[in-house]
Structure 1
Amino acid sequence: MQGTFQMDTDTATLCCYDLASLEHRLQDTPDWWSIPDDELEEVNAGHCLFLNLGEDGTYEVHWKVQAAVLEPESEADQANIYYFQVPSGKVYLGSADDVSGGELEPDELSQGIFLQLNPGNYACTVFKKENQISVTIQPSDQGKNKVQDLIRL
């Protein structure tokens, strides 16, 4: 499964998460994740990947989902790999402008796409060059992260 979509963002951030993973944030303020500690907490728990792009604008996102389990060969291979959990299978990949909060969730009008994945843990490999973003999602044994700082592409 693969494709391409364009997204506009006013938050300079791409996100990837299973909607069930952030149900506990639905009643929170819409910009709850603008608090760095809250963002980092959810990333490390594997609930949501917030991928900071550096600037607002329009981006072309090339995505693919692979069936093979990710097995990085070295630490260098892991530099752009982040992990997340998929409890329900309904995954949103798109602008973080639409992340769950303020009693709202992403929908068909959001700046992103919905992927139907099997429940489990996933790895997300991400690369950015100018306004082009490449995202590869594949099953993983790992579902949590141990990052010390916010993810910046």
Structure 2
Amino acid sequence: MTGTATLCVFDPALVRHKLEDDCDWWSIPSAELAAVNGGQVAFFNVGGDGAYDLVVHDELAEPHVSVHLAIASGRVFIGAGEDVTGGGLEPDTAYGGIFVDVPVGGCRVQAHRDGARISLAFVPDARSSNTFGDLVRI
């Protein structure tokens, strides 16, 4: 479920510096884009609030988009945008979202959307930053 029309994927260890920031720090487009391009958070704007089915694959044959992400702890959170670290809170799974173990280093988060079904894959990659000029939408 998302109430912000956004799915986020990130290693909590890499955004811990945002813990005391405003809870909606990422809702400022320039801050969201900076976090994505820095490889700290993959924000996928889905165009509407609501429930989405999430499936994690080994790799996607035809992703709609790929976002490079840095992984420091080997554990990423996948959930609603409003669950990103901030406002004194870190993500948990009490209201949705999941933690997934992934190898430490860089990865390419592949995303594909088919209606309310979102497919993700974490593919190891040496690169852990991006050069998007606009927010990522699927």
**TM exceeding 0.5:** yes
Match of 2:51, SS? Answer: strand
1: distance between equivalents of 2:92 and 2:30?
26
1: distance between equivalents of 2:36 and 2:66?
12
**Which protein is richer in strand relative to its size?**
1
Match of 1:38, SS? Answer: helix
Which residue of 70, 73, 86 corresponds with 1:88?
A: 73
Larger radius of gyration: 1
Match of 1:143, SS? Answer: coil
Tell whether the 8 Å contact from 2:39 to 2:130 is kept in structure 1 after alignment.
Answer: yes
Percent identity of equivalent pairs: 38
Segments of 5+ residues of structure 1 without an aligned counterpart are 1-7
1:64, CA displacement in angstroms?
2.2
Moved over 3 A (4+): none
Deviations 1:9-49 (A, max 9, x none): 10000011100110110000000000000000000000000
Segments of 5+ residues of structure 2 without an aligned counterpart are none
Tell whether the 8 Å contact from 1:98 to 1:111 is kept in structure 2 after alignment.
Answer: no
Matches within 5 A, 1:40-59: 40-59=33-52
Aligned AA (2:24): D
Tell whether the 8 Å contact from 1:62 to 1:132 is kept in structure 2 after alignment.
Answer: yes
* 1:28 pairs with 2:21: yes
Tell whether the 8 Å contact from 2:19 to 2:85 is kept in structure 1 after alignment.
Answer: yes
* 1:120 pairs with 2:105: yes
Q: Where does residue 125 of structure 2 map in the other structure?
A: 140
1:108, CA displacement in angstroms?
2.6
Aligned AA (2:108): A
1:130, CA displacement in angstroms?
1.2
1: distance between equivalents of 2:66 and 2:36?
12
1: distance between equivalents of 2:96 and 2:19?
18
Match of 2:134, SS? Answer: coil
| Equivalences, count | 138
Deviations 1:79-102 (A, max 9, x none): 611100001112101111211000
- RMSD, aligned CA: 1.8
TM (norm. structure 2) is: 0.93
2: distance between equivalents of 1:54 and 1:84?
22
Q: Where does residue 7 of structure 2 map in the other structure?
A: 14
